Amino acid sequence: MDVSRAVWKKSTRSGSSGSCVEVADNLPEIMVRDSKDQQGQVLHFAADQWAGFVGGIKDGRIGG
């Protein structure tokens, strides 16, 4: 996957603690990276995997 074409969005939950992630969802795979290390590793997810993860957080099945 060509990461250079990704459009990154910082989490709206990011605060001043520095614990921030950025998500790119404009390509066939969802990509996630650490906003403090933009040249570092990027996690790749299929859209259905990402939707399941986010849904699990929202309904309390993950991290609740």
pLDDT tens for 7-21 read 999 877 776 776 788
Instruction: Please state, in angstroms and rounded to a whole number, the distance separating the CA atoms of residues 24 and 35.
Output: 12
Residue with tokens 């650490």: 34
The C-alpha angle with vertex 5 and arms to 10 and 13, in degrees rounded to 5, equals 10
- pTM score over 0.85: no
> 29: part of which helix (H) or strand (E)?
none
User: From the CB of residue 60, how many other CB atoms can be counted at a distance below 10 Å?
Assistant: 8
21, containing H or E segment:
strand 21-24
pLDDT digits (tens, 9 = 90+) for 1-57: 788 899 999 877 776 776 788 999 999 999 999 988 989 999 999 999 999 999 998
Give the single-character DSSP code of 60.
T
